[in-house]
């Protein structure tokens, strides 16, 4: 089985169930060493996301608001927004392994582990959506994460933008969602959502840490310092970072962010 060709086929699969099943088959072969790396493989640039037949894609401002969490509609909107992030993250991690060839095997080990984690997250949230009588694709979604993968076609920019910016922002945003849920009246589904988010948050720290390691590796390859991170983020996301009070210092430190970086993001001394 050719590593890059098989990942390309998995990336192009439209059905979430089929994509997950094919990845699991591939991943078992990968871990068994039954994979061939063709380092001169010509990779594709994908013009549309794999979920375009599953989901209705709308501008970000038109995605249903995640409010009224004590209602089924509010819970569905929240779960669907998160499950879409997790499904997009499956393809982002697959693409990260597919697009950048000739790297140390540990790089591919790391990003295939991330794919496997994101699939577990997706299935965990899908179960909760099903309990509410709905499924992935029943609520409108946006394309922001896919567009990020289209724009970042070098290892340096991909590691800066995807794990160290987009996923790291999740480390800040998830605790705010959990705090909001905690303030609401007790509810069985909200408790299940909260439990799922705790699992996801813990494992996303590890994903961002992997991104931090390979970002540093890419900096060495390009003979630049890690300070280029802020130039890359300003290029794609000039709005910057969340407000200082919302930065998850503990999680970001565990994920590899230095105090110097965190202080720069906050524009004041946080640590």
Using an 8 Å Cβ cutoff, are 139 and 80 in contact? yes
Q: Both ends of the chain: CA-CA distance in Å?
A: 48
pLDDT value of residue 66: 83
Under a CB-based contact definition with an 8 Å cutoff, are residues 154 and 62 in contact? no
Determine the pLDDT at residue 242.
60
pTM of the model: 0.95
Average pLDDT over residues 38-66: 92
Which residues, in sequence order, are CB contacts of 57 under 8 Å at separation 6+? 49, 140, 141, 142, 143
**What pLDDT does residue 245 have?**
72
- Token pair, residue 230, equals 């802020």
Q: Residue 238: pLDDT band by 50, 70, 90 thresholds?
A: confident
Question: Can you tell me the mean pLDDT for 156-166?
Answer: 97
Domain boundaries of the chain, sorted by first residue: 42-266
Confidence of residue 243 (pLDDT cuts 50, 70, 90): low
Output the average pLDDT for the chain.
95
Q: What is the pLDDT of residue 13?
A: 98
Distance (Å) of CA 12 to CA 44, 48, 95, 122, 146 = 10, 9, 11, 18, 13
Q: pLDDT at residue 271 above 90?
A: no
**What's the distance, CA 21 to chain centroid?**
20
| For range 185-196, the mean pLDDT | 95
Kindly tell me if the per-residue pLDDT of 120 is higher than 90.
yes
Q: What integer pLDDT is reported at residue 259 of this predicted model? A: 93
Higher pLDDT, 217 or 245: 217
At residue 71, the pLDDT reads 95
In this predicted structure, the answer to whether residue 181 has a pLDDT above a threshold of 80 is yes
The radius of gyration computed from the CA coordinates of the chain, to the nearest angstrom, equals 19
C-alpha span between 208 and 162 (Å, rounded):
9
Residue range 42-266, CATH number: 1.20.1260
**Residues 217-224: contacts with CB under 8 Å, at least 24 apart:** 217/107, 218/154, 218/155, 218/156, 218/159, 219/156, 221/155, 221/156, 222/156, 224/156
Q: Report pLDDT for 240.
A: 74
- pLDDT tens-digit readout, 64-112: 988 899 999 999 999 999 999 999 999 999 999 999 999 999 999 999 9
Above 70 in pLDDT, residue 244?
no
């Amino acid at each position: 089985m050719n590593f890059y060709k098989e990942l390309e086929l998995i990336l192009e699969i439209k059905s979430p169930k089929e994509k997950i099943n094919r990845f699991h088959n591939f991943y078992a072969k990968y871990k068994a060493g039954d994979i061939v790396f063709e380092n001169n493989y010509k990779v594709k640039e994908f013009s549309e996301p794999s979920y375009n037949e599953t989901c209705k894609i709308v501008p970000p401002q038109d995605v249903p608001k995640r409010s009224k969490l004590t209602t089924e509609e509010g819970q569905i909107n929240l779960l669907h927004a998160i499950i879409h992030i997790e499904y997009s993250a499956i393809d982002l991690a697959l693409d990260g392994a597919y697009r950048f060839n000739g790297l140390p095997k540990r790089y591919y080990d790391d990003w295939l582990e991330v794919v496997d984690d994101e699939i577990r997250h997706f299935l965990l949230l899908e179960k909760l959506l099903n309990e509410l009588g709905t499924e992935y694709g029943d609520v409108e979604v946006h394309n922001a994460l896919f567009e990020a993968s289209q724009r970042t076609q070098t290892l340096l920019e991909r590691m800066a933008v995807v794990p160290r910016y987009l996923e790291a922002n999740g480390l800040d945003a998830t605790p705010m969602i959990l705090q909001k849920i905690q303030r609401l009246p007790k509810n069985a589904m909200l408790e299940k959502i909260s439990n799922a988010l705790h699992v996801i948050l813990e494992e996303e720290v590890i994903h961002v840490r992997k991104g931090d390691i390979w970002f540093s590796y890419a900096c060495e390859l390009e003979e630049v310092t890690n300070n280029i991170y802020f130039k890359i983020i300003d290029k794609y996301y000039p709005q910057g970072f969340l407000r200082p009070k919302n930065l998850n210092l503990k999680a970001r430190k565990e994920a590899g962010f230095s105090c110097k970086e965190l202080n720069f993001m906050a524009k004041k001394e946080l640590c």
